[in-house]
Amino acid sequence: MRRRIAVIGAGHHGLVAAVRLAARGHDVLVLEAASAPGGAVRSAASTLPGFTHDICSGFFPLTAASPAFGDLDLALDWVNPPVAMVHVLDGEGEEVALHRDLAATIDSLEACAPGAGVAWGELMRTLWPHRHALISAGLSRLPPLRDGATLLARLRSRALELAPMALASSASLGRGLFGSDRAAAWLAGSGAHADLSPQAAGSGAFSLGLNFLGHVVGWPFPRGGAGRLTEALVTQLRERGAEVRCANAVAHIEARRGRVAAVRLAGGERLAVDAAVCTVSPGPLLSLLPDGAFPARVKERLRRWRYGLGTVKLDYALSAPVPWPGPRAREAGVVHVGGALGELVTSLEQAGDGRFPDRPALVVGQHSLHDGTRAPDGQHTLYVYARVPQQPELSDDEVAERIEERIEQFAPGFRKLVLARAIRSPAAIEAENPSLRGGDLAAGSCELDQQLLFRPAPELCRCRTPLRGLYVAGAWVHPGPGVHGVSGRAAADALLADQRWRVRNAVR
Ligand SMILES: Cc1cc2nc3c(=O)[nH]c(=O)nc-3n(C[C@H](O)[C@H](O)[C@H](O)COP(=O)(O)OP(=O)(O)OC[C@H]3O[C@@H](n4cnc5c(N)ncnc54)[C@H](O)[C@@H]3O)c2cc1C
Protein backbone atom coordinates (compact mmCIF):
# COMPACT_ATOMS: atom_id res chain seq x y z
CA MET A 1 0.00 0.00 0.00
CA ARG A 2 1.43 3.39 -1.04
CA ARG A 3 2.05 5.61 2.00
CA ARG A 4 2.83 9.32 2.36
CA ILE A 5 6.15 9.59 4.21
CA ALA A 6 7.96 12.74 5.32
CA VAL A 7 11.71 12.59 5.86
CA ILE A 8 12.86 15.43 8.10
CA GLY A 9 16.37 16.61 7.14
CA ALA A 10 18.16 16.12 3.81
CA GLY A 11 21.50 15.07 5.30
CA HIS A 12 22.82 11.83 3.86
CA HIS A 13 20.89 9.66 6.37
CA GLY A 14 17.63 11.28 5.33
CA LEU A 15 18.48 10.86 1.66
CA VAL A 16 19.51 7.20 2.07
CA ALA A 17 16.22 6.50 3.91
CA ALA A 18 14.23 8.37 1.27
CA VAL A 19 15.84 6.51 -1.64
CA ARG A 20 15.02 3.17 -0.02
CA LEU A 21 11.41 4.12 0.76
CA ALA A 22 10.80 5.62 -2.68
CA ALA A 23 12.25 2.48 -4.27
CA ARG A 24 9.46 0.51 -2.53
CA GLY A 25 6.87 2.71 -4.20
CA HIS A 26 6.03 5.07 -1.34
CA ASP A 27 5.21 8.72 -1.75
CA VAL A 28 8.28 10.35 -0.16
CA LEU A 29 8.87 14.02 0.55
CA VAL A 30 12.18 15.16 2.09
CA LEU A 31 11.86 18.42 4.04
CA GLU A 32 15.04 20.39 4.59
CA ALA A 33 15.50 23.60 6.60
CA ALA A 34 18.59 24.80 4.71
CA SER A 35 18.56 26.25 1.21
CA ALA A 36 20.40 23.18 -0.20
CA PRO A 37 20.36 19.46 0.57
CA GLY A 38 23.29 17.50 2.03
CA GLY A 39 23.57 18.64 5.67
CA ALA A 40 27.20 17.89 6.60
CA VAL A 41 27.98 16.52 3.11
CA ARG A 42 28.30 19.61 0.94
CA SER A 43 30.83 21.55 -1.10
CA ALA A 44 31.04 25.25 -1.84
CA ALA A 45 33.33 27.89 -3.34
CA SER A 46 33.65 29.37 0.15
CA THR A 47 36.96 31.18 -0.46
CA LEU A 48 37.43 32.25 -4.09
CA PRO A 49 35.76 31.41 -7.41
CA GLY A 50 37.31 28.28 -8.91
CA PHE A 51 38.10 26.67 -5.51
CA THR A 52 35.77 23.86 -4.33
CA HIS A 53 35.84 23.20 -0.58
CA ASP A 54 34.20 20.40 1.39
CA ILE A 55 32.67 22.54 4.07
CA CYS A 56 32.07 19.66 6.55
CA SER A 57 32.89 16.02 5.82
CA GLY A 58 35.83 15.55 3.52
CA PHE A 59 36.93 11.88 3.72
CA PHE A 60 34.76 8.85 3.19
CA PRO A 61 36.23 5.53 4.41
CA LEU A 62 32.93 4.78 6.16
CA THR A 63 30.97 5.37 2.94
CA ALA A 64 33.30 3.06 1.04
CA ALA A 65 32.95 0.34 3.69
CA SER A 66 29.25 0.74 4.53
CA PRO A 67 26.70 -1.90 3.56
CA ALA A 68 24.12 0.94 3.34
CA PHE A 69 25.96 2.36 0.31
CA GLY A 70 26.97 -1.04 -1.07
CA ASP A 71 23.71 -1.59 -2.95
CA LEU A 72 23.24 2.03 -4.06
CA ASP A 73 24.71 2.34 -7.49
CA LEU A 74 25.85 5.94 -7.14
CA ALA A 75 27.38 7.66 -10.16
CA LEU A 76 30.59 8.84 -8.47
CA ASP A 77 34.24 8.94 -9.38
CA TRP A 78 36.24 8.16 -6.21
CA VAL A 79 39.74 9.50 -5.57
CA ASN A 80 41.74 7.27 -3.23
CA PRO A 81 45.23 8.59 -2.34
CA PRO A 82 47.85 5.84 -1.77
CA VAL A 83 48.96 7.68 1.38
CA ALA A 84 45.69 7.96 3.29
CA MET A 85 47.04 9.83 6.32
CA VAL A 86 50.26 11.17 7.79
CA HIS A 87 50.76 12.15 11.41
CA VAL A 88 53.38 14.89 11.61
CA LEU A 89 55.40 14.82 14.80
CA ASP A 90 57.39 18.06 14.44
CA GLY A 91 58.48 20.75 12.00
CA GLU A 92 61.64 18.87 11.03
CA GLY A 93 59.97 16.28 8.83
CA GLU A 94 59.39 13.54 11.45
CA GLU A 95 56.23 11.78 10.32
CA VAL A 96 54.43 8.43 10.38
CA ALA A 97 52.28 7.42 7.42
CA LEU A 98 49.16 5.31 7.00
CA HIS A 99 49.61 3.94 3.49
CA ARG A 100 46.85 1.87 1.92
CA ASP A 101 49.64 -0.62 1.44
CA LEU A 102 50.34 -2.48 4.70
CA ALA A 103 54.05 -3.12 4.00
CA ALA A 104 54.69 0.61 3.45
CA THR A 105 52.88 1.45 6.71
CA ILE A 106 54.97 -1.13 8.57
CA ASP A 107 58.14 0.51 7.19
CA SER A 108 56.97 3.95 8.26
CA LEU A 109 56.17 2.80 11.81
CA GLU A 110 59.46 0.88 12.07
CA ALA A 111 61.37 4.02 11.06
CA CYS A 112 59.62 5.88 13.89
CA ALA A 113 59.98 3.22 16.59
CA PRO A 114 61.67 -0.16 16.02
CA GLY A 115 59.17 -2.96 16.63
CA ALA A 116 56.11 -0.73 16.11
CA GLY A 117 55.71 -1.68 12.44
CA VAL A 118 56.07 -5.38 13.20
CA ALA A 119 53.38 -5.10 15.91
CA TRP A 120 51.00 -3.26 13.56
CA GLY A 121 51.64 -5.81 10.82
CA GLU A 122 50.82 -8.70 13.17
CA LEU A 123 47.59 -7.06 14.33
CA MET A 124 46.50 -6.22 10.78
CA ARG A 125 47.23 -9.76 9.56
CA THR A 126 45.12 -11.11 12.44
CA LEU A 127 42.19 -8.84 11.58
CA TRP A 128 42.43 -8.96 7.80
CA PRO A 129 40.69 -12.33 7.21
CA HIS A 130 37.77 -11.06 9.34
CA ARG A 131 37.54 -7.60 7.80
CA HIS A 132 34.09 -8.11 6.28
CA ALA A 133 32.66 -9.51 9.51
CA LEU A 134 34.27 -6.70 11.52
CA ILE A 135 32.82 -4.03 9.24
CA SER A 136 29.39 -5.67 9.25
CA ALA A 137 29.40 -5.89 13.05
CA GLY A 138 30.50 -2.25 13.41
CA LEU A 139 28.16 -0.83 10.79
CA SER A 140 24.92 -2.67 11.46
CA ARG A 141 21.73 -2.33 13.44
CA LEU A 142 21.70 -3.39 17.07
CA PRO A 143 22.09 -6.06 18.21
CA PRO A 144 24.59 -7.29 15.60
CA LEU A 145 23.63 -10.89 16.38
CA ARG A 146 24.48 -12.60 13.11
CA ASP A 147 27.61 -10.53 12.42
CA GLY A 148 28.76 -10.71 16.05
CA ALA A 149 28.30 -14.48 16.14
CA THR A 150 30.17 -14.88 12.83
CA LEU A 151 33.00 -12.78 14.19
CA LEU A 152 33.24 -14.72 17.44
CA ALA A 153 33.17 -18.03 15.61
CA ARG A 154 35.96 -16.91 13.33
CA LEU A 155 38.20 -15.30 15.92
CA ARG A 156 37.66 -18.12 18.46
CA SER A 157 40.31 -17.92 21.21
CA ARG A 158 41.77 -14.66 19.84
CA ALA A 159 38.45 -12.90 20.57
CA LEU A 160 39.26 -12.73 24.27
CA GLU A 161 42.68 -11.29 23.53
CA LEU A 162 41.28 -8.65 21.14
CA ALA A 163 38.10 -7.69 23.02
CA PRO A 164 39.83 -5.39 25.58
CA MET A 165 41.06 -3.29 22.64
CA ALA A 166 37.46 -2.21 22.09
CA LEU A 167 37.42 -0.55 25.51
CA ALA A 168 40.99 0.76 25.76
CA SER A 169 42.00 4.36 25.28
CA SER A 170 44.03 5.03 22.14
CA ALA A 171 47.01 6.12 24.29
CA SER A 172 47.16 2.85 26.22
CA LEU A 173 46.37 0.77 23.13
CA GLY A 174 49.14 2.52 21.19
CA ARG A 175 51.66 2.30 24.02
CA GLY A 176 50.84 -1.37 24.60
CA LEU A 177 51.15 -2.23 20.92
CA PHE A 178 54.10 -0.12 19.94
CA GLY A 179 55.98 0.54 23.19
CA SER A 180 56.48 4.10 21.96
CA ASP A 181 54.64 7.37 22.57
CA ARG A 182 55.64 8.62 19.12
CA ALA A 183 54.04 5.69 17.30
CA ALA A 184 51.09 5.83 19.71
CA ALA A 185 50.50 9.46 18.62
CA TRP A 186 49.96 8.21 15.04
CA LEU A 187 47.18 5.93 16.28
CA ALA A 188 45.67 8.44 18.72
CA GLY A 189 45.60 11.26 16.14
CA SER A 190 42.69 9.52 14.40
CA GLY A 191 40.62 9.98 17.57
CA ALA A 192 40.69 13.75 16.97
CA HIS A 193 38.09 13.13 14.22
CA ALA A 194 35.72 12.48 17.11
CA ASP A 195 35.74 14.30 20.46
CA LEU A 196 37.75 11.56 22.13
CA SER A 197 40.85 12.42 24.11
CA PRO A 198 43.62 9.82 23.63
CA GLN A 199 42.97 8.98 27.28
CA ALA A 200 39.23 8.36 26.87
CA ALA A 201 37.97 4.79 27.20
CA GLY A 202 36.84 3.52 23.79
CA SER A 203 39.04 5.93 21.81
CA GLY A 204 41.33 3.01 20.95
CA ALA A 205 38.61 1.20 18.99
CA PHE A 206 37.71 4.39 17.12
CA SER A 207 41.33 5.10 16.10
CA LEU A 208 42.08 1.46 15.33
CA GLY A 209 38.93 1.17 13.20
CA LEU A 210 39.72 4.26 11.15
CA ASN A 211 43.34 3.24 10.54
CA PHE A 212 42.32 -0.36 9.73
CA LEU A 213 39.87 1.01 7.13
CA GLY A 214 42.85 2.85 5.62
CA HIS A 215 44.17 -0.57 4.57
CA VAL A 216 40.79 -2.10 3.71
CA VAL A 217 39.20 0.67 1.60
CA GLY A 218 41.53 3.70 1.89
CA TRP A 219 40.30 7.16 2.89
CA PRO A 220 38.69 8.16 -0.42
CA PHE A 221 36.65 11.18 -1.49
CA PRO A 222 34.46 12.00 -4.50
CA ARG A 223 36.17 13.75 -7.39
CA GLY A 224 34.65 17.22 -7.66
CA GLY A 225 33.71 17.54 -3.98
CA ALA A 226 31.69 15.95 -1.19
CA GLY A 227 28.62 17.62 -2.69
CA ARG A 228 28.79 15.12 -5.56
CA LEU A 229 27.73 12.40 -3.11
CA THR A 230 24.66 14.42 -2.15
CA GLU A 231 23.90 15.16 -5.82
CA ALA A 232 24.12 11.43 -6.63
CA LEU A 233 21.68 10.59 -3.80
CA VAL A 234 19.26 13.35 -4.86
CA THR A 235 19.40 12.08 -8.47
CA GLN A 236 18.46 8.57 -7.31
CA LEU A 237 15.66 10.02 -5.25
CA ARG A 238 14.20 11.96 -8.16
CA GLU A 239 14.49 8.94 -10.46
CA ARG A 240 12.25 7.12 -7.99
CA GLY A 241 9.67 9.90 -8.02
CA ALA A 242 10.50 11.45 -4.63
CA GLU A 243 11.02 15.13 -3.94
CA VAL A 244 13.34 17.28 -1.76
CA ARG A 245 11.92 20.62 -0.60
CA CYS A 246 14.66 22.91 0.70
CA ALA A 247 14.07 26.03 2.83
CA ASN A 248 11.15 24.12 4.39
CA ALA A 249 11.95 23.58 8.07
CA VAL A 250 9.63 21.30 9.98
CA ALA A 251 8.29 23.04 13.08
CA HIS A 252 6.05 20.36 14.54
CA ILE A 253 5.05 16.71 14.21
CA GLU A 254 1.35 16.07 14.81
CA ALA A 255 -0.03 12.86 16.24
CA ARG A 256 -3.57 11.42 16.34
CA ARG A 257 -4.48 8.42 18.49
CA GLY A 258 -0.82 7.69 19.27
CA ARG A 259 0.28 7.77 15.62
CA VAL A 260 2.03 10.32 13.41
CA ALA A 261 -0.64 12.19 11.42
CA ALA A 262 1.03 15.26 9.92
CA VAL A 263 4.05 17.55 9.89
CA ARG A 264 3.67 21.29 10.17
CA LEU A 265 6.23 23.52 8.43
CA ALA A 266 7.74 26.68 9.91
CA GLY A 267 5.75 28.69 7.36
CA GLY A 268 2.50 27.21 8.73
CA GLU A 269 1.73 24.66 5.98
CA ARG A 270 0.34 21.33 7.25
CA LEU A 271 1.16 18.13 5.37
CA ALA A 272 -0.81 15.02 6.25
CA VAL A 273 1.47 11.96 6.38
CA ASP A 274 1.25 8.32 7.39
CA ALA A 275 4.78 8.16 8.78
CA ALA A 276 7.92 10.26 9.27
CA VAL A 277 11.65 9.61 9.52
CA CYS A 278 13.32 12.30 11.60
CA THR A 279 17.08 12.79 11.27
CA VAL A 280 17.57 15.89 13.46
CA SER A 281 19.38 15.41 16.75
CA PRO A 282 17.76 15.40 20.23
CA GLY A 283 18.01 19.17 20.88
CA PRO A 284 15.91 20.27 17.89
CA LEU A 285 13.89 17.01 17.83
CA LEU A 286 12.43 17.70 21.29
CA SER A 287 10.86 20.91 20.04
CA LEU A 288 9.17 19.07 17.14
CA LEU A 289 7.47 16.36 19.20
CA PRO A 290 3.80 16.50 20.14
CA ASP A 291 2.90 16.36 23.85
CA GLY A 292 2.95 12.86 25.29
CA ALA A 293 4.70 11.38 22.22
CA PHE A 294 7.42 9.76 24.30
CA PRO A 295 7.37 8.49 27.88
CA ALA A 296 8.87 10.97 30.35
CA ARG A 297 11.95 8.73 30.84
CA VAL A 298 12.81 8.82 27.12
CA LYS A 299 12.20 12.56 26.90
CA GLU A 300 14.48 13.09 29.89
CA ARG A 301 17.21 11.03 28.25
CA LEU A 302 16.96 13.23 25.13
CA ARG A 303 16.94 16.38 27.27
CA ARG A 304 20.16 15.22 28.91
CA TRP A 305 21.76 14.25 25.59
CA ARG A 306 25.34 15.52 25.74
CA TYR A 307 26.72 17.27 22.71
CA GLY A 308 30.50 16.89 22.44
CA LEU A 309 33.23 19.40 21.67
CA GLY A 310 32.57 22.14 19.16
CA THR A 311 34.35 22.31 15.82
CA VAL A 312 36.01 25.15 13.95
CA LYS A 313 36.30 24.59 10.23
CA LEU A 314 38.61 26.54 7.96
CA ASP A 315 38.87 26.43 4.17
CA TYR A 316 41.96 27.86 2.51
CA ALA A 317 42.75 28.82 -1.06
CA LEU A 318 46.53 28.44 -1.50
CA SER A 319 48.92 29.54 -4.23
CA ALA A 320 50.91 26.26 -3.89
CA PRO A 321 50.83 22.99 -1.90
CA VAL A 322 51.68 23.15 1.82
CA PRO A 323 55.51 22.91 2.19
CA TRP A 324 55.60 20.07 4.76
CA PRO A 325 59.24 19.13 5.39
CA GLY A 326 58.41 15.38 5.33
CA PRO A 327 57.96 13.73 1.91
CA ARG A 328 54.92 11.60 2.79
CA ALA A 329 52.94 14.55 4.20
CA ARG A 330 53.39 16.25 0.85
CA GLU A 331 51.41 13.46 -0.84
CA ALA A 332 48.91 12.47 1.87
CA GLY A 333 45.16 12.92 1.55
CA VAL A 334 44.93 13.77 5.27
CA VAL A 335 47.59 15.20 7.58
CA HIS A 336 47.12 15.05 11.34
CA VAL A 337 48.89 18.06 12.80
CA GLY A 338 49.07 16.56 16.22
CA GLY A 339 52.68 16.45 17.37
CA ALA A 340 53.57 14.28 20.34
CA LEU A 341 51.03 12.19 22.24
CA GLY A 342 51.13 14.62 25.19
CA GLU A 343 50.27 17.54 22.89
CA LEU A 344 47.24 15.66 21.54
CA VAL A 345 46.06 14.91 25.07
CA THR A 346 46.49 18.55 26.14
CA SER A 347 44.63 19.86 23.08
CA LEU A 348 41.55 17.68 23.67
CA GLU A 349 41.64 18.22 27.43
CA GLN A 350 41.91 22.01 27.19
CA ALA A 351 38.97 22.00 24.77
CA GLY A 352 37.02 19.78 27.18
CA ASP A 353 37.76 22.26 29.99
CA GLY A 354 36.31 25.09 27.91
CA ARG A 355 39.63 26.64 26.83
CA PHE A 356 40.69 27.11 23.24
CA PRO A 357 43.74 24.80 22.93
CA ASP A 358 47.12 26.53 22.98
CA ARG A 359 48.36 24.06 20.38
CA PRO A 360 45.22 22.69 18.72
CA ALA A 361 45.24 19.20 17.16
CA LEU A 362 44.26 19.65 13.50
CA VAL A 363 42.74 17.41 10.85
CA VAL A 364 44.04 18.76 7.55
CA GLY A 365 42.78 17.64 4.12
CA GLN A 366 44.68 18.06 0.85
CA HIS A 367 42.03 17.19 -1.74
CA SER A 368 43.45 19.23 -4.60
CA LEU A 369 46.75 17.30 -4.56
CA HIS A 370 44.76 14.36 -5.96
CA ASP A 371 41.76 16.02 -7.57
CA GLY A 372 42.56 18.72 -10.11
CA THR A 373 38.93 19.85 -10.26
CA ARG A 374 39.16 21.44 -6.79
CA ALA A 375 41.37 24.44 -7.63
CA PRO A 376 42.73 26.38 -10.62
CA ASP A 377 45.92 24.97 -12.17
CA GLY A 378 48.90 25.11 -9.80
CA GLN A 379 46.78 26.38 -6.91
CA HIS A 380 45.36 24.35 -4.04
CA THR A 381 42.62 23.97 -1.45
CA LEU A 382 43.27 23.15 2.18
CA TYR A 383 40.67 21.68 4.55
CA VAL A 384 41.25 22.18 8.28
CA TYR A 385 39.27 21.52 11.42
CA ALA A 386 39.92 21.36 15.14
CA ARG A 387 37.83 20.19 18.09
CA VAL A 388 37.39 23.15 20.42
CA PRO A 389 35.02 24.40 23.14
CA GLN A 390 31.44 24.92 21.98
CA GLN A 391 31.83 28.60 22.85
CA PRO A 392 35.45 29.56 22.20
CA GLU A 393 36.60 32.65 24.05
CA LEU A 394 38.49 33.81 20.91
CA SER A 395 37.21 35.80 17.94
CA ASP A 396 37.27 34.17 14.48
CA ASP A 397 40.42 36.11 13.58
CA GLU A 398 42.15 35.00 16.80
CA VAL A 399 41.12 31.39 16.13
CA ALA A 400 42.50 31.56 12.58
CA GLU A 401 45.71 33.12 13.92
CA ARG A 402 46.14 30.25 16.46
CA ILE A 403 45.51 27.61 13.81
CA GLU A 404 47.77 29.17 11.20
CA GLU A 405 50.54 29.51 13.79
CA ARG A 406 50.18 25.77 14.47
CA ILE A 407 50.38 24.81 10.77
CA GLU A 408 53.34 27.16 10.32
CA GLN A 409 55.21 25.34 13.15
CA PHE A 410 54.91 22.08 11.21
CA ALA A 411 55.19 23.52 7.69
CA PRO A 412 57.30 26.69 7.74
CA GLY A 413 56.30 28.94 4.84
CA PHE A 414 52.60 27.98 4.88
CA ARG A 415 51.35 31.49 5.67
CA LYS A 416 52.91 33.03 2.56
CA LEU A 417 50.76 30.76 0.39
CA VAL A 418 47.35 31.84 1.71
CA LEU A 419 45.27 33.59 -0.96
CA ALA A 420 42.00 33.52 1.00
CA ARG A 421 40.32 31.74 3.88
CA ALA A 422 36.82 31.07 5.17
CA ILE A 423 36.19 30.23 8.81
CA ARG A 424 33.14 28.75 10.50
CA SER A 425 32.91 28.86 14.28
CA PRO A 426 30.88 26.31 16.30
CA ALA A 427 28.05 28.88 16.43
CA ALA A 428 28.15 29.34 12.64
CA ILE A 429 28.09 25.56 12.11
CA GLU A 430 25.02 25.26 14.37
CA ALA A 431 23.33 28.24 12.68
CA GLU A 432 23.73 26.49 9.30
CA ASN A 433 22.59 23.12 10.64
CA PRO A 434 20.71 23.09 13.98
CA SER A 435 21.29 19.34 14.27
CA LEU A 436 25.01 20.04 14.95
CA ARG A 437 24.30 21.80 18.25
CA GLY A 438 27.31 23.61 19.72
CA GLY A 439 29.14 22.86 16.46
CA ASP A 440 29.56 19.23 17.52
CA LEU A 441 30.33 17.47 14.25
CA ALA A 442 29.05 14.18 15.68
CA ALA A 443 25.63 15.50 16.88
CA GLY A 444 26.42 14.01 20.29
CA SER A 445 29.56 13.12 22.20
CA CYS A 446 31.16 9.83 21.18
CA GLU A 447 32.12 8.90 24.74
CA LEU A 448 31.26 5.34 25.75
CA ASP A 449 28.12 6.22 27.74
CA GLN A 450 26.53 7.53 24.51
CA GLN A 451 27.31 4.50 22.38
CA LEU A 452 25.51 1.33 21.26
CA LEU A 453 22.21 0.93 23.15
CA PHE A 454 22.66 4.39 24.60
CA ARG A 455 22.90 6.17 21.26
CA PRO A 456 20.62 7.84 22.00
CA ALA A 457 18.47 5.57 24.24
CA PRO A 458 17.48 1.90 24.36
CA GLU A 459 13.98 2.82 23.07
CA LEU A 460 15.36 4.62 19.97
CA CYS A 461 18.67 2.98 19.11
CA ARG A 462 16.98 0.60 16.62
CA CYS A 463 15.36 3.55 14.82
CA ARG A 464 11.79 2.88 16.03
CA THR A 465 10.27 5.26 18.59
CA PRO A 466 7.46 5.07 21.15
CA LEU A 467 5.31 7.21 18.79
CA ARG A 468 3.91 4.88 16.13
CA GLY A 469 4.84 5.96 12.61
CA LEU A 470 7.86 7.98 13.78
CA TYR A 471 11.34 6.63 13.05
CA VAL A 472 14.72 8.19 13.78
CA ALA A 473 18.09 8.15 12.04
CA GLY A 474 21.25 10.22 11.99
CA ALA A 475 24.66 10.64 13.57
CA TRP A 476 23.07 10.66 17.05
CA VAL A 477 21.58 7.17 16.49
CA HIS A 478 23.68 3.98 16.61
CA PRO A 479 26.26 3.43 15.02
CA GLY A 480 26.98 7.14 15.33
CA PRO A 481 28.64 9.87 13.28
CA GLY A 482 30.23 9.57 9.87
CA VAL A 483 28.93 9.24 6.36
CA HIS A 484 27.78 5.62 6.33
CA GLY A 485 23.99 5.86 6.03
CA VAL A 486 23.46 2.89 8.35
CA SER A 487 20.68 4.32 10.52
CA GLY A 488 19.03 5.96 7.48
CA ARG A 489 18.73 2.57 5.87
CA ALA A 490 17.75 0.90 9.16
CA ALA A 491 14.97 3.44 9.78
CA ALA A 492 13.58 2.83 6.29
CA ASP A 493 13.75 -0.95 6.82
CA ALA A 494 12.00 -0.71 10.19
CA LEU A 495 9.24 1.39 8.63
CA LEU A 496 8.85 -1.03 5.71
CA ALA A 497 8.72 -4.04 8.05
CA ASP A 498 6.07 -2.39 10.27
CA GLN A 499 4.11 -1.43 7.19
CA ARG A 500 4.08 -5.04 5.93
CA TRP A 501 2.96 -6.19 9.38
CA ARG A 502 0.11 -3.65 9.44
CA VAL A 503 -1.05 -4.61 5.96
CA ARG A 504 -0.97 -8.36 6.82
CA ASN A 505 -2.99 -7.72 9.98
CA ALA A 506 -5.49 -5.48 8.19
CA VAL A 507 -6.07 -8.24 5.60
CA ARG A 508 -6.61 -11.00 8.20
C1 LIG B 1 33.25 19.85 10.04
C2 LIG B 1 32.83 18.40 9.89
C3 LIG B 1 33.73 17.48 9.36
C4 LIG B 1 33.36 16.14 9.22
N5 LIG B 1 34.23 15.27 8.61
C6 LIG B 1 33.81 14.02 8.34
C7 LIG B 1 34.59 13.18 7.50
O8 LIG B 1 35.63 13.58 6.96
N9 LIG B 1 34.14 11.91 7.26
C10 LIG B 1 32.94 11.44 7.80
O11 LIG B 1 32.58 10.28 7.57
N12 LIG B 1 32.18 12.25 8.57
C13 LIG B 1 32.57 13.52 8.82
N14 LIG B 1 31.77 14.35 9.54
C15 LIG B 1 30.54 13.81 10.18
C16 LIG B 1 29.45 13.53 9.16
O17 LIG B 1 29.47 14.50 8.16
C18 LIG B 1 28.09 13.51 9.87
O19 LIG B 1 28.12 12.59 10.95
C20 LIG B 1 26.98 13.08 8.92
O21 LIG B 1 27.07 13.71 7.67
C22 LIG B 1 25.63 13.37 9.57
O23 LIG B 1 24.60 13.06 8.66
P24 LIG B 1 23.09 13.16 9.12
O25 LIG B 1 22.28 12.78 7.95
O26 LIG B 1 22.91 12.40 10.38
O27 LIG B 1 22.84 14.67 9.54
P28 LIG B 1 23.19 16.06 8.89
O29 LIG B 1 24.09 15.93 7.73
O30 LIG B 1 23.59 16.93 10.02
O31 LIG B 1 21.78 16.52 8.32
C32 LIG B 1 20.73 16.95 9.11
C33 LIG B 1 19.89 17.86 8.24
O34 LIG B 1 18.70 18.22 8.94
C35 LIG B 1 18.40 19.56 8.63
N36 LIG B 1 17.47 20.08 9.63
C37 LIG B 1 17.72 20.43 10.91
N38 LIG B 1 16.59 20.83 11.53
C39 LIG B 1 15.59 20.67 10.61
C40 LIG B 1 14.18 20.90 10.63
N41 LIG B 1 13.54 21.38 11.74
N42 LIG B 1 13.45 20.66 9.50
C43 LIG B 1 14.06 20.19 8.38
N44 LIG B 1 15.38 19.98 8.30
C45 LIG B 1 16.15 20.20 9.40
C46 LIG B 1 19.76 20.23 8.61
O47 LIG B 1 19.72 21.47 7.95
C48 LIG B 1 20.59 19.17 7.91
O49 LIG B 1 20.58 19.35 6.52
C50 LIG B 1 32.08 15.71 9.65
C51 LIG B 1 31.16 16.64 10.14
C52 LIG B 1 31.52 17.98 10.25
C53 LIG B 1 30.50 18.97 10.75
Residue pLDDT, tens place only, 101-160: 999 999 999 999 999 999 999 999 999 998 998 898 889 888 777 777 777 777 777 777
pLDDT category of residue 503 using cuts at 50, 70 and 90: low
pLDDT of 332 > 70? The answer is yes
Å from CA of 436 to ligand 1 middle: 7
The response to whether residue 308 sits with its C-beta less than 6 Å from ligand 1 reads no
Average per-residue pLDDT for the chain: 95
Beta bridge partners of 312: 386
Q: How much is the average pLDDT of 325-335?
A: 98
The response to whether residue 486 sits with its C-beta less than 6 Å from ligand 1 reads no
- Decide if domain 4-35+246-306+446-507 falls under CATH 3.40.50.2020: no
Q: Whose Cα sits closest to atom 4 in ligand 1?
A: 57
Task: List, in order, residues 6 or more apart from 193 with CB less than 8 Å away.
Answer: 206, 210, 363
Please give the number of the atom of ligand 1 that sits closest to the Cα of 9.
34
| Domain residue extents for the chain | 4-35+246-306+446-507, 78-222+309-432
pLDDT of 314 > 90? The answer is yes
What span, in angstroms and rounded, lies between the C-alpha atoms of 378 and 266? 46
| % of the chain exceeding 70 in pLDDT | 98
Q: How much is the average pLDDT of 346-350?
A: 95
Q: What is the pLDDT of residue 505?
A: 63
Q: What is the pLDDT of residue 502?
A: 66
Ligand 1 pocket test target in 42, 277, 433, 472 with most atoms within 8 Å of CB: 433
| Positions of E strands within 203-287 | 221-222, 243-245, 250-256, 259-265, 270-272, 275-278
Q: How much is the average pLDDT of 194-211?
A: 92
Q: CA of 307: how far to CAs of 130, 153, 176, 345, 480, in Å? A: 33, 37, 31, 20, 13
Angle at which helices 181-188 and 341-352 cross, to 10°: 50
Decide if 456 contacts 301 (C-beta within 8 A): yes
Q: Whose Cα sits closest to atom 34 in ligand 1?
A: 9
> pLDDT by residue (tens digit) across 404-448?
999 999 999 999 999 999 999 999 999 999 999 999 999 999 999
Ligand 1 pocket test target in 280, 429, 445, 472 with most atoms within 8 Å of CB: 280
Å from CA of 195 to ligand 1 middle: 16
Model confidence, pTM: 0.96
Q: What is the pLDDT of residue 343?
A: 96
Ligand 1 pocket test target in 8, 31, 42, 56 with most atoms within 8 Å of CB: 56
pLDDT category of residue 227 using cuts at 50, 70 and 90: very high
Q: What is the pLDDT of residue 370?
A: 98
The response to whether residue 66 sits with its C-beta less than 6 Å from ligand 1 reads no
What span, in angstroms and rounded, lies between the C-alpha atoms of 119 and 125? 10
Q: What is the pLDDT of residue 120?
A: 98
pLDDT of 67 > 60? The answer is yes
What span, in angstroms and rounded, lies between the C-alpha atoms of 128 and 130? 5
| 109 burial via Cβ count (<10 Å: 0-12, 13-18, 19+) | buried
Q: How much is the average pLDDT of 453-481?
A: 96
Å from CA of 325 to ligand 1 middle: 34
pLDDT category of residue 99 using cuts at 50, 70 and 90: very high
Q: CA of 283: how far to CAs of 128, 199, 307, 390, in Å? A: 39, 28, 9, 15
Å from CA of 39 to ligand 1 middle: 4
Q: What is the pLDDT of residue 191?
A: 83
Q: Whose Cα sits closest to atom 7 in ligand 1?
A: 57
Decide if 55 contacts 43 (C-beta within 8 A): yes
Give 3-state DSSP helix, strand, coil % of the chain, rounded to 5. Answer: 40, 20, 40
CB atoms within 10 A of CB 125: 10
pLDDT of 507 > 60? The answer is no
Please give the number of the atom of ligand 1 that sits closest to the Cα of 311.
1
| 252 burial via Cβ count (<10 Å: 0-12, 13-18, 19+) | middle
- DSSP letter for 290, please: P
Å from CA of 362 to ligand 1 middle: 20
What counts of helices (H) and strands (E) characterise the chain? Answer: 18, 19
pLDDT of 270 > 70? The answer is yes
pLDDT of 226 > 90? The answer is yes
The response to whether residue 72 sits with its C-beta less than 6 Å from ligand 1 reads no
The response to whether residue 220 sits with its C-beta less than 6 Å from ligand 1 reads no
Strands 250-256 and 259-265: antiparallel
